[in-house]
Amino acid sequence: MQIGFTYDLKDDYLKDGFTEDQAAEFDSIETIDGICFALTEAGHKVDRIGNCKSLVKRLSAGEKWDLVFNIAEGTNGIARESLIPALLEAYDIPYTFSSAAVLSLCLDKALCKRVVSSFGFKTAPFIEVKSCADLDKINIPYPLFAKPVAEGTSKGVTGMSKVADRKELERVCSELLAKYRQNVLVEKFLPGREFTVGITGTGISAHVVGNIEIIYGEKAEKGIYSYANKANYQDRITYAYATDATARKTEDLALAIYKSLDIRDAGRVDMRLGDDGEPYFIEVNPLAGLNPSVSDLPIIAYKRGMTYLQLIKEIVASACERL
């Protein structure tokens, strides 16, 4: 197949004046080269399109592809991940991963938690803070956890995100509101084991690739899957392949959530145990990172015995099957 490839290259945005934090979700050249190599090895011809602006120019010129492999995060707005899928839908060009509607829903963590709760799945009590005046409405017992409502890669999550009292919460929310200019999700802190479940496929073909437990080392910001912990995981985090009864229960719930949200081709569902020992939904990533060295989904695949090439081939096969 002729496969177009859309992405946001971090180096391009850094050259344009973005800060490291602003460019945190964008992909490295290692990721771009890794995906291109895997697609080529699978027998496809790959056309590196790049970001949304590049795609617009190519579409305006009348170009088309058999399939677009899309990992672009977008730059602005709560629906930024949906922009390229929406454009491709307008031009009737098929693409990998979830629809524009699903990507927009899942990026809004508060809205996604409401939808997941409506399906009957457990999620920690939460409130969406639009200004510090909303803190007066909170009646959830401490400790609490605060993060931007629509960021990925743990942007905005630091050792300060777990808060013990109102004074800490007000300081953290003020900083997040000012820095990210979006609402803050404040939820009950879940103290138990933390899992991330990798899934590939669509609908009845969706299946769990594997499940890893996140174990924090001595150098880590304890109990928080922060941006710093992710970026320096070799020194801070152990990813343990989880197969016990609790892990299997978590996998079953994650797969059910994945299917309920109509996620396609591949994704990750993050779960954590509460005080009661039961798994609670944290968030879902329908556009999971695919860096061959450091992203969670490839790490899960490796621990299952899959190669990177096999993972990319499964994603493309899922897209072709549903199309």
pLDDT in tens, 106-147: 999 999 999 999 999 999 999 999 999 999 999 999 999 999
Q: What's the chain's average pLDDT?
A: 94
pLDDT of residue 231: 72
Residue pLDDT, tens place only, 271-311? 999 999 999 999 999 999 999 998 999 999 999 999 999 99
Taking phi over 0 as left and psi of -120 to 50 as alpha, with beta for the rest, 120 belongs to left
pTM attached to this predicted model: 0.94
Contacts of 181 (CB under 8 A, 6+ apart): none
User: What is the CB neighbour count within 10 angstroms for residue 133?
Assistant: 8
Beta bridge partners, 195, equal 213, 271
Whether pLDDT at 219 is above 80: no
Q: 105-121+190-322 maps to which CATH number?
A: 3.30.470.20
> Domain boundaries in the chain?
2-95, 105-121+190-322, 126-188
Is residue 311 a contact partner of residue 289, using CB atoms and an 8 Å limit? no
User: Is there a shared CATH topology between the 2-95 domain and the 126-188 domain?
Assistant: no
* Per-residue CA distances from 242 to 139, 222, 245, 250, 305 (Å): 34, 20, 9, 10, 14
Find the range with the poorest average confidence among 34-38, 52-56, 160-164: 160-164
Q: Which CATH superfamily is domain 126-188 in?
A: ATP-grasp fold, A domain (3.30.1490.20)
CATH number of the domain located at residue range(s) 2-95 in this protein: 3.40.50
| pLDDT recorded at residue 221 | 76
Which residues neighbour 292 within 8 Å (Cβ) at sequence distance 6 or greater? 30, 31, 34, 298, 308
What does each C-alpha distance from 183 to 102, 146, 158, 176, 247 come to in angstroms?
20, 10, 17, 8, 32
Query: Are 300 and 248 a contacting pair, CB within 8 Å?
Result: no
What kind and span of H or E run contains 52? Answer: helix 52-60
Per the CB < 8 A criterion, the answer to whether 318 and 311 are in contact is: no
Are 184 and 176 spatial neighbours (Cβ–Cβ below 8 Å)? yes
Per-residue pLDDT reduced to its tens digit, 41-90: 999 999 999 999 999 999 999 999 999 999 999 998 889 999 999 999 99
Q: How confident is the model at residue 154 (pLDDT cuts 50, 70, 90)?
A: confident
Element (H, E) at 207: strand 207-216
The two most distant CA atoms of the chain are separated, in Å, by 58
